[in-house]
Amino acid sequence: MTKQKIIIDCDPGIDDTLALLYALKHPNLEVVAITIVAGNCPTDLGVKNTFTSLELLDRLDVPVYQGASTPLTRDYISAQDTHGMDGLGENNFQLKHTPHIQDKSAEQFLADYFKAPTDTSIIALGPLTNIAKALELNPKLGENCHRFVSMGGNFKSHGNCSPVAEYNYWCDPHAAQITFERLGRKVEMVGLDVTRHIVLTPNHLEYMSRINAEMTAFITKITRFYFDFHWEYEHIIGCVINDPLALAYFVNSEVCTGFEAYTDVVTDGIAIGQTVVDQYDFYHKPKNSTILTQVNPSLFWEDFLTVLLDAQKDIIQDDLKNLKLES
């Protein structure tokens, strides 16, 4: 099978790191580049955390581009209360090598890469600041990318940093609005309506340790802080791992389903960052998004664990079913 080329724009981040590990190991994906944006943590920490993943997998061949350090307009507010001051659960991992960051900025790289039509897709896992800035440099970026998948937003689900907003779009609502408005390609929005169904639990970790102890040890370290946060604020035992779902859906569109609609993003006031999804076509505007509303957790866990743990898919499928870890 031909590998699908992707560029991952992200803000690592605990769940971003899980998504990076998943993508870099996936037999059906070729990670062309990783671009870093300020979000869960500042960009310098995001770069360091990206290289933590690259070193772990011996994939220092993947180029990394540092991008926007602040949102377009509003003040930057990180999510280090959720991810730890180091962005990876207060583990303070030490790199073995000095990070080699590419000379170009993330936005310039994206603008240049998509000057002509390509078969490469963008998977955006953080605020959309790099994307909006790249669109200013190259308005045809969206037309020239194959697909554009964004982990962000929410439709009917409540927010995770305000009653109505998801963090990535809340962090930089102006960039999100510009992306939806100017991309020229449907934004495939993997929002909280579907990601909240993907909860990594202690039972998952216990099972994973039996399959691949080394990888699970790293995942356990970085998610411990995340577990504590989710218990304190959402009263669940486990943690929602948003970003890997965007990758799983990109690889297999049966993982999530939804509908097409016109979507706008609120940029000020009490509802800042809210995604306004015109499901019933009140505005009579062209549909600029695919809003994912249904998810098949079994399909997600089967592929995610098979890839991440270097396991056999049939064994993972049977174990998930027998151990009731499918959802």
41 domain-assigned:
yes
Q: Is the pLDDT of residue 39 over 90?
A: yes
10 domain-assigned:
yes
- For helices 173-182 and 129-137, what crossing angle results, to 10°? 50
For 57, which DSSP code?
T
Confidence at 326, pLDDT banded by 50, 70, 90: confident
Count of the separate structural domains present in the chain: 1
Query: How far is the first Cα of the chain from the last one, in angstroms, to the nearest whole number?
Result: 29
Provide the edge-to-edge strand list for the sheet that holds 289-295. 64-66, 29-36, 4-10, 120-124, 148-151, 187-190, 289-295, 256-265, 275-278
**Global confidence as pTM:** 0.97
- Cα torsion angle, 212, 213, 214, 217, sign: positive
pLDDT of residue 1: 67
17 domain-assigned:
yes
Average pLDDT over residues 82-106: 95
The number of C-alpha atoms within 13 Å of 157 and in the hemisphere containing its C-beta is 20
Planar angle of CA 82, 30, 34, nearest 5 degrees: 40
211 domain-assigned:
no
Q: For residue 44, give its domain range.
A: 4-200+241-295
Buried b (16+ CB within 10 A) or exposed e, 23-46: bbbbeebebbbbbbbbbbbbbebb
pLDDT of residue 53: 98
Average pLDDT over residues 227-248: 93
CATH number at residue 20: 3.90.245.10
Distance CA 174, CA 157 (A): 21
26 domain-assigned:
yes
